[in-house]
Chain A
Amino acid sequence: KNEVEQSPQNLTAQEGEFITINCSYSVGISALHWLQQHPGGGIVSLFMLSSGKKKHGRLIATINIQEKHSSLHITASHPRDSAVYICAVPEETSGSRLTFGEGTQLTVNP
Protein backbone atom coordinates (compact mmCIF):
# COMPACT_ATOMS: atom_id res chain seq x y z
CA LYS A 1 0.00 0.00 0.00
CA ASN A 2 1.22 3.47 -0.81
CA GLU A 3 2.49 5.53 2.09
CA VAL A 4 2.11 9.29 1.73
CA GLU A 5 3.96 11.90 3.72
CA GLN A 6 3.31 15.60 3.54
CA SER A 7 5.43 18.36 4.95
CA PRO A 8 5.14 20.65 6.67
CA GLN A 9 2.01 19.88 8.69
CA ASN A 10 1.48 23.54 9.45
CA LEU A 11 2.81 26.57 7.65
CA THR A 12 2.37 30.24 8.46
CA ALA A 13 3.51 32.85 5.97
CA GLN A 14 3.29 36.56 5.35
CA GLU A 15 1.36 37.82 2.39
CA GLY A 16 3.54 37.84 -0.70
CA GLU A 17 5.81 35.01 0.36
CA PHE A 18 6.62 32.03 -1.84
CA ILE A 19 5.16 28.84 -0.40
CA THR A 20 6.27 25.24 -0.92
CA ILE A 21 4.45 22.16 0.29
CA ASN A 22 5.99 18.74 -0.21
CA CYS A 23 4.56 15.28 -0.74
CA SER A 24 6.46 11.99 -0.83
CA TYR A 25 5.04 8.58 -1.60
CA SER A 26 6.37 5.04 -1.55
CA VAL A 27 4.87 3.23 -4.56
CA GLY A 28 5.06 4.22 -8.22
CA ILE A 29 1.88 5.92 -9.38
CA SER A 30 -0.09 6.87 -12.46
CA ALA A 31 -1.09 10.33 -11.22
CA LEU A 32 -0.89 12.44 -8.09
CA HIS A 33 -3.61 14.80 -6.91
CA TRP A 34 -3.31 18.10 -5.10
CA LEU A 35 -6.48 19.22 -3.36
CA GLN A 36 -7.38 22.38 -1.50
CA GLN A 37 -9.85 22.38 1.36
CA HIS A 38 -11.10 25.67 2.74
CA PRO A 39 -12.25 26.17 6.35
CA GLY A 40 -15.87 25.63 5.33
CA GLY A 41 -14.91 22.18 4.10
CA GLY A 42 -15.31 22.57 0.35
CA ILE A 43 -12.75 20.64 -1.67
CA VAL A 44 -11.21 21.94 -4.85
CA SER A 45 -9.17 19.76 -7.18
CA LEU A 46 -6.08 21.83 -7.92
CA PHE A 47 -3.94 19.54 -10.02
CA MET A 48 -3.59 16.02 -11.28
CA LEU A 49 -0.15 15.29 -12.64
CA SER A 50 1.80 12.28 -13.70
CA SER A 51 5.00 13.95 -14.87
CA GLY A 52 6.76 17.28 -15.08
CA LYS A 53 5.07 20.45 -14.05
CA LYS A 54 1.68 22.14 -14.22
CA LYS A 55 0.82 25.76 -13.62
CA HIS A 56 -2.49 27.45 -12.90
CA GLY A 57 -2.37 31.10 -11.98
CA ARG A 58 -0.11 31.46 -8.95
CA LEU A 59 -0.06 27.73 -8.29
CA ILE A 60 2.61 25.43 -9.63
CA ALA A 61 2.82 21.68 -9.08
CA THR A 62 5.84 19.57 -9.93
CA ILE A 63 6.45 15.87 -9.71
CA ASN A 64 9.60 13.76 -9.86
CA ILE A 65 8.57 10.22 -10.66
CA GLN A 66 12.00 8.72 -10.01
CA GLU A 67 12.24 10.30 -6.57
CA LYS A 68 8.53 9.72 -5.80
CA HIS A 69 8.13 13.31 -4.74
CA SER A 70 5.84 16.19 -5.62
CA SER A 71 5.78 19.82 -4.60
CA LEU A 72 3.06 22.43 -4.63
CA HIS A 73 4.23 26.01 -4.89
CA ILE A 74 2.25 29.19 -4.35
CA THR A 75 3.78 32.40 -5.63
CA ALA A 76 2.88 35.80 -4.17
CA SER A 77 0.77 34.18 -1.45
CA HIS A 78 -2.40 35.87 -0.30
CA PRO A 79 -4.59 35.46 2.79
CA ARG A 80 -7.25 33.82 0.63
CA ASP A 81 -4.77 30.99 -0.02
CA SER A 82 -5.21 29.99 3.63
CA ALA A 83 -6.54 26.44 3.52
CA VAL A 84 -5.55 22.82 4.00
CA TYR A 85 -3.63 21.39 1.06
CA ILE A 86 -3.82 17.64 0.58
CA CYS A 87 -1.93 15.35 -1.74
CA ALA A 88 -3.39 12.02 -2.75
CA VAL A 89 -1.96 9.08 -4.67
CA PRO A 90 -3.35 5.74 -5.83
CA GLU A 91 -3.07 2.99 -3.22
CA GLU A 92 -1.26 0.75 -5.66
CA THR A 93 0.52 1.16 -8.96
CA SER A 94 -2.53 0.74 -11.13
CA GLY A 95 -5.35 1.40 -8.70
CA SER A 96 -7.90 4.16 -8.54
CA ARG A 97 -8.44 4.02 -4.79
CA LEU A 98 -6.53 6.89 -3.25
CA THR A 99 -4.35 7.28 -0.22
CA PHE A 100 -4.40 10.78 1.25
CA GLY A 101 -1.68 12.73 2.95
CA GLU A 102 -2.41 14.23 6.35
CA GLY A 103 -2.71 17.66 4.82
CA THR A 104 -0.81 20.90 5.29
CA GLN A 105 -2.58 23.72 7.08
CA LEU A 106 -1.47 26.95 5.44
CA THR A 107 -2.15 30.31 7.04
CA VAL A 108 -1.19 33.45 5.15
CA ASN A 109 -1.23 36.59 7.24
CA PRO A 110 -1.83 40.02 5.75
Chain B
Amino acid sequence: GAVVSQHPSWVICKSGTSVKIECRSLDFQATTMFWYRQFPKQSLMLMATSNEGSKATYEQGVEKDKFLINHASLTLSTLTVTSAHPEDSSFYICSARGRREGSYEQYFGPGTRLTVT
Protein backbone atom coordinates (compact mmCIF):
# COMPACT_ATOMS: atom_id res chain seq x y z
CA GLY B 1 0.00 0.00 0.00
CA ALA B 2 0.90 3.66 -0.28
CA VAL B 3 3.47 4.90 2.18
CA VAL B 4 3.45 8.53 1.10
CA SER B 5 0.23 10.47 0.61
CA GLN B 6 -0.47 13.85 -0.92
CA HIS B 7 -3.44 16.09 -0.41
CA PRO B 8 -5.24 17.25 -2.38
CA SER B 9 -4.84 15.01 -5.41
CA TRP B 10 -6.04 17.83 -7.61
CA VAL B 11 -6.92 21.47 -7.08
CA ILE B 12 -8.21 24.33 -9.20
CA CYS B 13 -7.63 27.86 -7.99
CA LYS B 14 -7.96 31.37 -9.29
CA SER B 15 -4.99 33.44 -10.31
CA GLY B 16 -3.57 35.40 -7.38
CA THR B 17 -4.64 32.98 -4.67
CA SER B 18 -2.41 30.65 -2.67
CA VAL B 19 -2.60 26.88 -2.58
CA LYS B 20 -1.17 24.51 -0.01
CA ILE B 21 -0.21 20.93 -0.84
CA GLU B 22 0.50 18.41 1.90
CA CYS B 23 2.85 15.47 1.75
CA ARG B 24 2.72 12.86 4.51
CA SER B 25 4.80 9.80 5.22
CA LEU B 26 2.32 7.26 6.54
CA ASP B 27 4.30 4.63 8.40
CA PHE B 28 7.81 5.99 8.73
CA GLN B 29 9.63 9.11 9.76
CA ALA B 30 10.86 11.12 6.81
CA THR B 31 14.03 12.99 7.61
CA THR B 32 14.16 14.40 4.09
CA MET B 33 11.38 15.32 1.70
CA PHE B 34 11.72 16.33 -1.92
CA TRP B 35 9.33 18.39 -4.03
CA TYR B 36 9.15 17.96 -7.79
CA ARG B 37 7.10 19.47 -10.55
CA GLN B 38 6.32 17.89 -13.86
CA PHE B 39 5.09 19.53 -17.03
CA PRO B 40 3.23 17.51 -19.67
CA LYS B 41 5.41 15.02 -21.53
CA GLN B 42 8.42 15.96 -19.43
CA SER B 43 10.36 14.30 -16.67
CA LEU B 44 10.16 15.21 -12.99
CA MET B 45 12.12 18.32 -12.07
CA LEU B 46 13.41 18.74 -8.54
CA MET B 47 12.26 22.00 -6.98
CA ALA B 48 13.57 21.77 -3.44
CA THR B 49 14.84 19.49 -0.71
CA SER B 50 13.72 19.89 2.85
CA ASN B 51 15.03 18.39 6.05
CA GLU B 52 12.87 18.25 9.13
CA GLY B 53 13.26 21.34 11.26
CA SER B 54 15.45 23.28 8.86
CA LYS B 55 14.96 25.54 5.87
CA ALA B 56 14.46 24.01 2.46
CA THR B 57 17.19 24.06 -0.15
CA TYR B 58 15.85 25.29 -3.46
CA GLU B 59 17.11 24.38 -6.90
CA GLN B 60 18.43 27.06 -9.15
CA GLY B 61 15.64 29.00 -10.81
CA VAL B 62 12.99 28.08 -8.23
CA GLU B 63 11.64 31.11 -6.35
CA LYS B 64 11.69 30.38 -2.65
CA ASP B 65 9.26 33.22 -1.89
CA LYS B 66 6.76 31.80 -4.34
CA PHE B 67 7.05 28.16 -3.39
CA LEU B 68 7.06 28.04 0.39
CA ILE B 69 8.09 24.74 1.90
CA ASN B 70 7.57 23.78 5.51
CA HIS B 71 8.83 20.51 6.97
CA ALA B 72 7.66 20.97 10.51
CA SER B 73 7.47 17.33 11.52
CA LEU B 74 8.98 14.01 10.57
CA THR B 75 5.80 12.95 8.80
CA LEU B 76 4.57 16.15 7.14
CA SER B 77 5.88 18.62 4.61
CA THR B 78 3.82 21.30 2.90
CA LEU B 79 4.33 23.22 -0.33
CA THR B 80 2.46 26.50 -0.64
CA VAL B 81 2.24 28.09 -4.06
CA THR B 82 1.73 31.78 -3.31
CA SER B 83 0.01 34.21 -5.65
CA ALA B 84 -0.51 31.46 -8.15
CA HIS B 85 -0.49 32.20 -11.87
CA PRO B 86 -1.59 30.07 -14.81
CA GLU B 87 2.05 29.20 -15.56
CA ASP B 88 2.22 27.52 -12.15
CA SER B 89 -0.28 24.95 -13.39
CA SER B 90 1.58 21.69 -13.19
CA PHE B 91 1.79 18.32 -11.51
CA TYR B 92 3.53 18.53 -8.13
CA ILE B 93 5.04 15.40 -6.61
CA CYS B 94 6.72 14.85 -3.29
CA SER B 95 8.95 12.05 -2.14
CA ALA B 96 10.02 11.18 1.37
CA ARG B 97 13.23 9.57 2.51
CA GLY B 98 13.61 7.78 5.79
CA ARG B 99 14.13 4.49 7.55
CA ARG B 100 11.36 1.98 6.90
CA GLU B 101 11.37 -1.75 7.42
CA GLY B 102 15.02 -1.65 8.35
CA SER B 103 16.38 0.19 5.34
CA TYR B 104 16.82 3.83 4.44
CA GLU B 105 14.93 4.51 1.24
CA GLN B 106 12.92 7.04 -0.72
CA TYR B 107 9.22 6.75 -1.52
CA PHE B 108 7.09 8.82 -3.88
CA GLY B 109 3.71 10.37 -3.32
CA PRO B 110 0.97 10.07 -5.95
CA GLY B 111 1.16 13.73 -6.97
CA THR B 112 -1.11 16.78 -6.96
CA ARG B 113 -2.41 18.36 -10.14
CA LEU B 114 -2.70 22.12 -9.83
CA THR B 115 -4.68 24.15 -12.33
CA VAL B 116 -4.64 27.93 -12.02
CA THR B 117 -7.37 29.72 -13.92
Contacts and interface: CB of A to CB of B under 8 A. Distances in A.
B108 A45 contact: yes
A80 to B, nearest CB: 17
A48 B95 CA distance: 13
Interface residues of B, number: 22
Given A33-B106, A48-B106, A102-B43, A96 B97 contact: yes
A96 B32 CA distance: 9
B62 to A, nearest CB: 14
B91 A41 contact: yes
A98 B93 CA distance: 13
Contacts, number: 45
A43 B109 contact: yes
B106 A41 contact: no
Contact of B110 (A33, A44, A48): A44
Interface of B: 3-4, 9, 32, 34, 38, 43-44, 46, 49, 91, 93, 95, 97, 105-111, 113
Interface of A: 31, 33, 35, 40-45, 48, 86, 96-98, 100-103
16 contacts: A31-B106, A33-B106, A40-B113, A41-B38, A42-B9, A42-B110, A42-B111, A43-B93, A43-B110, A43-B111, A45-B3, A45-B108, A86-B43, A98-B34, A101-B43, A103-B43
